[in-house]
Structure 1
Amino acid sequence: MSETQAEPSRPTRFRLRFDPKLFALAVLASLVLGALLGWVADSTGAGWLITTLDTIGSTFTKLLTFTVLPLIFTAIVLGITSLRSVGGGRTAARLGGKTAMWFAITSLVAVLIGIGVANLLRPGQGLNISPDQQRVDEVSDMAGGSWLDLVQGLVPEHLVGAFADGETLQVVFVSLLVGAAAYSLGEKAQPFVEFNRAVFEIIQRVLGWIIRLAPLGTLGLIGNAVASYGNEFFVPLLKLTGATYIGCALVLFAVYPLLLWFVARVSPAKFFGKAWTVLQFAFVSRSSGASLPLSRQTAVNLGVDRSYASFAVPLATTTKMDGCAAVYPAVGSIFIANLFGFHMGPVQYLTIVAVAVFGAIATAGVTGWFTMLTLTVGALDFPPAMIATGIAIAYAVDPIMDMMRTMTNVAGQITVPTVVARTEGMLDDEVLHTPSAPPLLNGPEETASDESAGSRERGPALSGV
């Protein structure tokens, strides 16, 4: 018998690899091709082509629709129960509390900027598309209603009815109630929490499969929209992209520098000089998770205590997303409302603010642009079909918007730890003012960081698949 024994051969596994860059290009190509097909259908009066495009787009929308309410419920329940694991000891509790406070403050400013820019540019206005005009009219009537009307509409007659009738606001209320109860029960509720975690992962996996059809869905939706509304359809998408970039730019190049200068006493020029490499990487990669090693090292290069940076930056990676969880949900919600002719009032704007400020913290670990936008429009009580259609249309230009959103996210994930470190006396000015080489991936302990946090900005398209 030979000294070396051949290992038994394993069956070859053929697996289709997912390339994010090719996927983004496919979505953009579908946008162009869909617009061309829509123009051809409109110009030639080809009814069969219009019907085909409408069928493709509506089927993609329906696939997204059935995932909306389960996603809202499980994300909120998991987010609330995950708060139990934050902290440990008085110092950690104080640091965690102060970090969360600055997360909330900057999120408040970011969402107000998003609301202001969106109301200035008014993306989506003028088309008045609706999958269910009667339901949209009912929701529109709530905009001018009282707080009493809002409260009365929160409580469902029975649990199943809230899901069966598509009452998203009631589902949000039930989710908060169930999440709080599970949090208070602690270990007793762990089986239920794990069940929700499994359901959430299943939904994310299903969404990943559905979103892989986004190029086809985009072709159908955009093609049908162009055939129905002509070239006017591109103006709302252009405004949506412009509002997202302007809102994120104001946060990135105005809010953060002011915070660094007046609170952390850090020169914005010094900050961007040391952070520009990671910000460029975030813009290109479109992933806070992939940027985490660079972000953490950049915070250390800015003088943040290494132990605190190792806690705060990873926490921020899954929680602190001003681009995805504040600016964009505000802009996206107003875009969807305008797209379907829904007129929002003060109650709706306050709801957007509340979700942005508290939602990211309440959904720590599952936050992403898709989850936060879904939670926001869900809290506004938009019908699921309206939510899915609006998100599907916005997805056509999402790769372009996601670059700026992610760059803003990463800048905030470094800014807040720097500010907190200064207020806690944990910022080393000598390190801050020492020139340092661009941060690199320095070893396996950094390159293996929190893979689950990766690609959250991009939503379900890349997570869990």
Structure 2
Amino acid sequence: MSVSANTKSFKLPFWAQIIAGLVLGVLLGWIARSQDLSWLATTLEKVGDTFIGLLKLAVAPLVFFAILVSITNLRKVNNAARLASRTLLWFMITSLIAVAVGIVIGLVTNPGAGTGLTPQDGAKPETTGSWIDFLTGIVPTDVITPFTELNVLQIVFMAAVAGIAALQLGEKAQPILTLSESVLELLQKALWWVIRLAPLGTVGLIGNAIATYGWDLIGQYATFTADIYVGCAIVLFVVYPVLLATVAKVSPLQFFKGAWPAIQLAFVSRSSVGTMPLTQKVTERLGVPKEYASFAVPFGATTKMDGCAAVYPAIAAIFVAQIFDIQLGVGDYLLIAFVSVVGSAATAGLTGATVMLTLTLSTLGLPMEGVGLLLAIDPILDMMRTATNVAGQVVCPLIVASREKILDRDKYNSVSTAPADADEPQAMAAAA
């Protein structure tokens, strides 16, 4: 057997590299904290920050060109307006189900009870979200600031305007569209290189979380942390499979075979936008037409957040209300559902859901100090939230494609966790 063949035979599959990174990160984080090794803690922090920084580096141009190209690609699809409206409808339906799951779990478990936390433990965030900020912040004042300040919502707005304008111009806009498609492919290629570093980034991100917060903090927030993970798990492993089986009439097992690489990368990276190219790849491999997937996935990566914008704010609002001894009524829970459906774009596919949380608390009239209670535990929660977000961004296009009879069922049923090719090392991560 050749040397190259031997090398290939010993290559770890991507999912195993991620798990190895998780284990090593936990071990190094524990060592750094227990032995008070500040240099190791700093190293882990820098490794994790560098990985996230590389992902964010591509976010602004990636979102702009992905949204622009996705809108113009709709011209290649029959019944484009119907597909777009059905996609938005299923985004709303699944968000309502997810927020209902979060509310029920919060009411049953009382996550704010018995924590030992008091209102004095919280602190107001430097910036908060409000409906005025959300609505007025959609329209940028110039074309540069949204990119320099990474205001994804404004970038989405500009891209949507540019895409619609290009559709109106028709053939005159073709040179711009060709350039945009080339730039998008270039950005995605560069992002593949960053994604190759995900196992290393995992070591830094998980290790830094353990070194910084330790197990004591997790214990103090045990019920709340468990609620978020259980709520997201119910949406991910119960709600989505039921919808796929009953509405889309497809096998949930096949869905997880095809979508798992994107779900696991989302868990590690904590970025829906950073995972977007892979999310689109797995969606297409599951039989969704490329022209439709190239619209639905970028759209979902910036607006479809069942973990960050539905399960999390519902449970967090109940948690904060209990800490501050404030009673929530039926009207408040309806407001939580409203914010989850309408305001999810505020999360913008980036790591963290602080903006969405402050938007929810301000709408309910709850103290902003509640945000400070949850910031420390946020990185640990964000992994599961983002994995749920990305899974939903695949599920909705599958449901729409199936109901509109454009889903390639043969392709869906034949998908497997096959070896990845050289350009997409994580695209099918289960085999070496």
> What is the TM-score normalised by the length of structure 1?
0.57
Q: 1:344 to 1:200 in 2, by over 3 A?
A: farther
Partner of 1:172: 130
Alignment of 1:433-452 (within 5 A): 433-438=413-418, 440=420, 443=423
Partner of 1:420: 400
Q: Is the 8 A contact 1:275 1:298 kept in 2?
A: yes
Residue aligned with 1:99, SS: helix
Deviations 1:105-124 (A, max 9, x none): 10110011011111111112
Structure 2: distance between partners of 1:31 and 1:379: 41
Deviations 1:250-277 (A, max 9, x none): 1011110111111111111221222233
Structure 1: distance between partners of 2:29 and 2:325: 26
Q: 1:294 to 1:176 in 2, by over 3 A?
A: closer
AA aligned opposite 2:92: A
Partner of 1:129: 118
AA aligned opposite 2:94: T
**Match status 1:392 vs 2:380:** no
Q: Is the 8 A contact 2:283 2:394 kept in 1?
A: yes
Structure 2: distance between partners of 1:242 and 1:417: 29
Partner of 2:91: 103
Q: Is the 8 A contact 1:325 1:367 kept in 2?
A: no
- From 328, 332, 335, the equivalent of 2:312 is 328
- From 357, 363, 383, the equivalent of 1:379 is 363
Give 1:310 deviation, angstroms.
1.9
Give the 4+ runs in structure 1 shifted more than 6 A: 24-28, 30-33, 83-86
* Structure 1 gaps, min length 5: 1-19, 37-82, 137-162, 183-189, 203-211, 448-465
Q: Is the 8 A contact 2:273 2:350 kept in 1?
A: no
Q: 1:441 to 1:295 in 2, by over 3 A?
A: farther
Alignment of 1:14-413 (within 5 A): 87=71, 91-126=79-114, 127=116, 129-131=118-120, 172-175=130-133, 178=136, 191=141, 236-361=220-345, 364=348, 368-384=352-368, 386-395=369-378, 398-399=379-380, 401-413=381-393
AA aligned opposite 2:254: K
Structure 2: distance between partners of 1:281 and 1:366: 14
Q: Is the 8 A contact 2:254 2:416 kept in 1?
A: no
AA aligned opposite 1:415: V
Residue aligned with 2:314, SS: helix
Structure 2: distance between partners of 1:325 and 1:200: 19
Give 1:200 deviation, angstroms.
6.2
Structure 2: distance between partners of 1:346 and 1:30: 47
Identify which range, 246-255 or 277-286, moves more after superposition: 277-286
Partner of 1:46: none
Structure 1: distance between partners of 2:358 and 2:420: 35
Structure 2: distance between partners of 1:32 and 1:119: 35
Q: Is the 8 A contact 2:276 2:298 kept in 1?
A: yes
Q: 1:251 to 1:348 in 2, by over 3 A?
A: same
Give 1:30 deviation, angstroms.
11
Structure 2: distance between partners of 1:251 and 1:289: 20
Give 1:279 deviation, angstroms.
2.7
Residue aligned with 2:248, SS: coil
Identify which range, 346-355 or 334-343, moves more after superposition: 334-343
Q: 1:179 to 1:287 in 2, by over 3 A?
A: closer
AA aligned opposite 1:389: G
Q: 1:21 to 1:318 in 2, by over 3 A?
A: farther
Q: Is the 8 A contact 2:354 2:371 kept in 1?
A: no
Q: Is the 8 A contact 1:100 1:361 kept in 2?
A: no
Q: Is the 8 A contact 1:129 1:341 kept in 2?
A: no
Structure 2: distance between partners of 1:94 and 1:354: 24
Give 1:390 deviation, angstroms.
1.8
Q: Is the 8 A contact 2:263 2:390 kept in 1?
A: yes
Root-mean-square deviation (CA, aligned residues, Å) is 4.5
Q: Is the 8 A contact 1:248 1:404 kept in 2?
A: yes
Deviations 1:417-444 (A, max 9, x none): 1111112221011212224453746649
